[in-house]
Structure 1
Amino acid sequence: MTDDAPQLRASDADRDRVADILRDALAEGRLDMAEFEERLEAAYRARTYAELAPLTGDLPASGAAVPAVSLHKDPAGSGSWAERVVGGDGSSAWAVAVMSGFQRKGRWTAPKRFRSFVFWGGGEIDLREAYFADREVEIECVAIMGGVQVIVEPGVEVVVRGIGVMGGFDHREEGVPGEPGAPRVIVTGFAFWGGVGVERKLTKAERLRQKEERARLKDERRRERLERRSERHQLHAARREERWEDRERRRDGNGPAS
């Protein structure tokens, strides 16, 4: 790398890569919206690497060398359903909470049948990031004066077959078709003076992706506004130049007679 590398002209691809880094920083909370907008506008106005480098210099993986603004992003895993139906026995087959609580969440393997029991307590069974031992898994919940919450992500088919006595099972997520290859979750059991809820939520990664997409769309709209503003400035400048040239011609007697 030569010493004059910072003065090299930046390309549109370089500016777009810096914008990607800034969007990631916004989504991760490293930049607030005001800082993001200020840096993004500076990125699209930048002409050289020297102008781009400070915009990402305090962000992770931005690199020390100036041309490192042309960063690549590590590819994310495909997260396909085929990868998440892994077979086997599951990493946890049961959970009990007596006057207490339990959680099953994160990267765990849900068995073909998972049993849970709560008495004067609560439990959370979060399948959003889970792997599955089978394409059809049963979550059995017994809630006595307590509650269990089952959380799935969009794309998973849910069937609820539980019985409630002075309590109940949540059926709101039933009837939503599953995606091809996605597992089927059957919620069964018994609730007495308690309840079993079923909730559909996005994963953290999907929420981050949607936040990035909103930032990208806002970025595109802002860039379009900047481009339109630049075009208007250029048009006004051209018109001023034409008027100036016309006045010069008139002054020299070369213009049309008044």
Structure 2
Amino acid sequence: MRASDAERERVAEALREAVAEGRLDMEEFEERLEKTYKARTHGELAPLVRDLPTPGVRTPAPAAPEASGGVDWPSRIGGEATSRGAFAFWGGFGRKGTWTIGRKFTAFAMWGGGDIDLREARFESAETVIRCFTIMGGMGVTVPPELTVRVRGFGLMGGFGDKATGEGTPGSPRVTVTGFALMGGIGVERKQRKAAKRGLGGTPRKELG
């Protein structure tokens, strides 16, 4: 949900009170304040005051584990991006594991390929756009079943596959995958997270499909 100017100002006031009470030092206060005024959504505001008393500040209630498919989305939204793009020329690239994707991520592959795996990733923003471009190459984007995804790419003498468009669980980030494939292929598909495959007791589950 988009944040209003009034909500940003309430968060800023909570930060000012926190630094006055000694809960934050000046460096951390200035860093959080800057992020507050740049925030566009509740998902970006919530982490800035999660560890502070914030009376009167409306932040999204965390979804129950059952409702969110066992994913703690609030803890995975916010923070500095570790990658905002990827490039491959006569080679390949991979982004997987517990990396943090930028709010805008651009990937390009020419005579090469790449993999973008969001199953264990963190998100700089609750709204993320992934732009994929390939020329005579291939690229794959893997997302978990709990993530909200829209795919809007196209192919020219190639293909832009979509097996992932759909709504995620409450509180999930919203990811848009766009771009084009020229004499190549880009595919977007859903796969279970490794932890979900193993199940709560560590026993592997059989993946459907």
> Where on the TM-score scale, by shorter chain, does this alignment land: which range?
0.5 to 0.7
Shift of 1:173: 1.6
Alignment correspondent of 1:80: 72
Deviation by residue 1:195-228 (Cα, 9 ceiling, x = unmatched): 110111111111111674679xxxxxxxxxxxxx
Q: Secondary structure at the match of 1:106?
A: coil
Alignment correspondent of 1:140: 131
**2:91 aligned with 1:100:** yes
For CA contacts below 8 A with separation 6 or more, give which structure has more relative contact order: 2
RMSD: 1.8
Shift of 1:122: 0.5
Cα distance in 2 for residues equivalent to 1:147 and 1:210: 35
Cα distance in 1 for residues equivalent to 2:185 and 2:170: 30
TM-score where L is the length of structure 1: 0.50
For residue 137 of structure 1, what is the amino acid of its counterpart? T
Q: Secondary structure at the match of 1:196?
A: strand
Q: Secondary structure at the match of 1:207?
A: helix
**2:158 aligned with 1:193:** no
**2:197 aligned with 1:203:** no
**Which protein is richer in helix relative to its size?**
1
Going from structure 1 to structure 2, the CA distance change for 1:211 and 1:201 (only over 3 Å counts) comes to farther
For the 8 Å contact 2:142–2:188, the answer to whether it is kept is: yes
Cα distance in 1 for residues equivalent to 2:119 and 2:93: 17
Q: Which has the larger radius of gyration?
A: 1
Shift of 1:163: 2.2
Shift of 1:165: 0.4
**Which protein is richer in strand relative to its size?**
2
> What is the percent sequence identity of the aligned residues?
48
Alignment correspondent of 2:157: 166
Alignment correspondent of 1:67: none
Shift of 1:107: 0.6
Matches within 5 A, 1:1-258: 79-88=71-80, 90-174=81-165, 176-209=166-199, 212=202
Q: Secondary structure at the match of 2:163?
A: coil
Going from structure 1 to structure 2, the CA distance change for 1:107 and 1:214 (only over 3 Å counts) comes to closer
Cα distance in 2 for residues equivalent to 1:160 and 1:154: 15
Q: Secondary structure at the match of 2:145?
A: coil
For the 8 Å contact 2:162–2:189, the answer to whether it is kept is: no
Going from structure 1 to structure 2, the CA distance change for 1:141 and 1:214 (only over 3 Å counts) comes to closer
TM-score where L is the length of structure 2: 0.61
For the 8 Å contact 2:119–2:142, the answer to whether it is kept is: yes
Cα distance in 2 for residues equivalent to 1:106 and 1:98: 23
Question: Where has structure 1 moved over 2 Å in runs of 4 or more?
Answer: 210-215
Deviation by residue 1:149-177 (Cα, 9 ceiling, x = unmatched): 00000111111111210112112221x22
Alignment correspondent of 2:34: none
Going from structure 1 to structure 2, the CA distance change for 1:98 and 1:214 (only over 3 Å counts) comes to closer
Runs of at least 5 residues in structure 2 that lack an aligned partner in the other structure = 1-69
